Amino acid sequence: MRTDLNPRIYPDTEHWLYRRQFILGPRPFDKFEHWKRAKLGHDLFLACHPDLMLTRAGAGNLEMVVLGYLLDPYDPSLNDRQIAEKIVNECGSLEDIPGKLSPVGGRYAIVVRQGEMIRIFGDCAGFRQIFFLKEDECPLWCSSQPALLSEVVPIEEDKAVWQDLADLPMFKNTTEYWFPGNRTVMKNVFHLRPNHYLDLRTGETVRYWPRDRISRYSVEECAKKACAVLQGLLECATKRFDVALGITAGLDTRVLLAASKGVAERVYFFTHTHARLDENGADIRVPREILTRFGLRHHLVVNENPMDKDFERIFRKNVTAARTRIGLNARAILNHFSGLRKTPLVVNGVCGEITRNFYSFPKWYPWKGKSLATLARMPGSRIAGEEFENWLATARASDSCGIGLLDLFYWENRNANWSAMSYSEYDIAFESLSPFNCRLLIETMLGVDKKHRRMPGFELHRQLIRRMWPELLEYEINPPANGTERVLQRLRGTRFYDVLRFLKFLHRHYSHNG
């Protein structure tokens, strides 16, 4: 069955428009008849798409509203309401809630209220995105996308942002672009970063994590704890959803495949093709070999190019500056599962990179906003330099908490924008989950010395696989396509490679900044 978005054949476009999104502001949002609605306090009104789960829980004068879903890895029997009630009952104030959410996975935005204090914050990785409109003559609004804000308040494109970023190689030559810091392409609309909350009374954003020094772990200690969380989260997910795991030859999906061993009969394993991947590619060949060996079926989702016009029109309206590559993926996966009459929770390994020492540069280098802009492939961008300089003002304390500054930079900037944007883009087609999106899990893995969680060996990640499904290590991870790639793979992570990479960064940085 093909899901046809042509309004003459499939008239319920409200089902697809702003799917799985929400809006919160000072007056009711009544544009869409079938949206869910709730009132918070006496002057805040919430509305969300029917396919976005909404849960309320309260204890005393403390109230919590969850937009999305929660997973408790230590008690897979609990549903959203039970988890929310448990958290609220264990908290004495708003300040306690982020800590109580630490072991919880899922994808959510949470509004918490105590008396006149009211705040909103997202999940650990920021995958349920939160944007807010802040200008002097307009009351505060927040939503899941800038485009939805434009339904209630006139907002304009910020041409200065486009002029600053449009000529950067990342924006000109790839569909993998992302916007720096909390800036968007709309005037006075900002993006809330992970590890921060938005005060809905004052419009101020406040960092709430990290504050204390994280614990240190050996590889073995971490693996034991991390495996329990990953396996518990997949157990939760398969109890409550039709789970489909996107699988490749890569490291993060190999870890998740290992974690799925106990629930594999309840998982639909698939890989989707794209412009650079056909059926002979390692990302299809390797998972197919693995799954066949263990009596599991591997499914192929074939991308269509171009997108049909009805789908593309709504896709681009739903997400501001939506990227074509993700739209093609979303459409292909939607078509595939519509044919099976399934609405899956699609699981992937996005944000696992936070734990992998993605930017392995010298700790002694004096990072500034401009140098971080170069690191982020935005060299010479005035806006990126300013945004990252502002970020540094509260982020530098991370070192005293035992968290590398560049690990936090990847988490709160690249991951929170590049990766999180894809989750919003996929919302038109399916709900998503990354089991790595769990603060307890990320904290625990960052507590291991970086030499054990970086390329080329990724000792910690291999130990996770070894504990959960050791036979999976018999298959090469990201096998190189030729001899040149194999040589480069062996060089990555060596001191020579790191020095060469750093020198290349310095050349690029100073050639753009003098």
Give the pLDDT confidence of 210-260 residue by residue, as tens digits.
999 999 999 999 999 999 999 999 999 999 999 999 999 999 999 999 999
Of 196, 198, 207, nearest to 394 by C-alpha is 207
Task: With a cut of 80, say whether residue 173 has pLDDT above it.
Answer: no
Residue 469: what pLDDT?
A: 98
Do 144 and 246 sit in the same domain of this protein?
no
Do 201 and 315 sit in the same domain of this protein?
no
Do 193 and 240 sit in the same domain of this protein?
no
Spacing of C-alpha 492 from chain mean position: 26
- Whether the CB-CB separation of 465 and 475 falls below 8 Å is answered with no
Residue 8: what pLDDT?
A: 41
Q: Using 50, 70 and 90 to split pLDDT, how confident is the model at 399? A: confident
Residue 3: what pLDDT?
A: 44
Do 125 and 172 sit in the same domain of this protein?
yes
Domain end point (choices 187, 207, 227): 207
* Residue 409 domain-assigned (yes or no): no
For the residues 388-411, what does the mean pLDDT come to?
94
Do 19 and 126 sit in the same domain of this protein?
yes
Residue 28: what pLDDT?
A: 95
Long-range contacts of 3-9 (CB under 8 A, 24+ apart): 3/334, 3/335, 3/338, 4/310, 5/308, 5/310, 5/311, 5/314, 6/310, 7/310
Residue 9: what pLDDT?
A: 34
Query: Domain with 312 in it: what CATH number?
Result: 3.40.50.620
pLDDT tens, residue by residue, 150-167: 999 999 999 999 899 988
* Residue 514 domain-assigned (yes or no): yes
Spatial neighbors of 437 by CB under 8 A, at least 6 apart, are 105, 106, 107, 123, 124, 125, 127, 351
Do 348 and 253 sit in the same domain of this protein?
yes
pLDDT tens, residue by residue, 316-325: 999 999 999 9
Q: Compute the distance between CA of residue 184 and CA of residue 448 in angstroms, rounded to an integer.
A: 34
Task: With a cut of 80, say whether residue 274 has pLDDT above it.
Answer: no
Do 277 and 426 sit in the same domain of this protein?
yes
For the residues 489-502, what does the mean pLDDT come to?
86
* Residue 285 domain-assigned (yes or no): yes
Domain end point (choices 207, 227, 252): 207
* Residue 458 domain-assigned (yes or no): yes
* Residue 382 domain-assigned (yes or no): no
Do 282 and 350 sit in the same domain of this protein?
yes
Residue 273: what pLDDT?
A: 83
Query: Domain with 185 in it: what CATH number?
Result: 3.60.20.10
pLDDT tens, residue by residue, 373-383: 999 999 999 99
Q: Angle at which helices 459-468 and 251-259 pack, to 10 degrees?
A: 30
Do 180 and 319 sit in the same domain of this protein?
no
Do 183 and 34 sit in the same domain of this protein?
yes
Task: With a cut of 80, say whether residue 2 has pLDDT above it.
Answer: no
Of 148, 141, 133, nearest to 190 by C-alpha is 133
- Whether the CB-CB separation of 135 and 156 falls below 8 Å is answered with no
* Domain total in the chain: 3
**Structural domain for 439, as ranges:** 219-354+416-479
- Higher-confidence residue: 487 or 269? 269
Do 182 and 91 sit in the same domain of this protein?
yes
Long-range contacts of 366-373 (CB under 8 A, 24+ apart): 367/392, 367/405, 367/406, 368/392, 370/509, 370/513, 371/509, 371/513, 372/409, 372/413, 373/180
Omega before residue 366 within 30° of 0, cis:
no
Do 157 and 293 sit in the same domain of this protein?
no
* Residue 454 domain-assigned (yes or no): yes
Token match 């490679």: residue?
497
Domain end point (choices 182, 207, 232): 207
Q: Using 50, 70 and 90 to split pLDDT, how confident is the model at 12? A: low
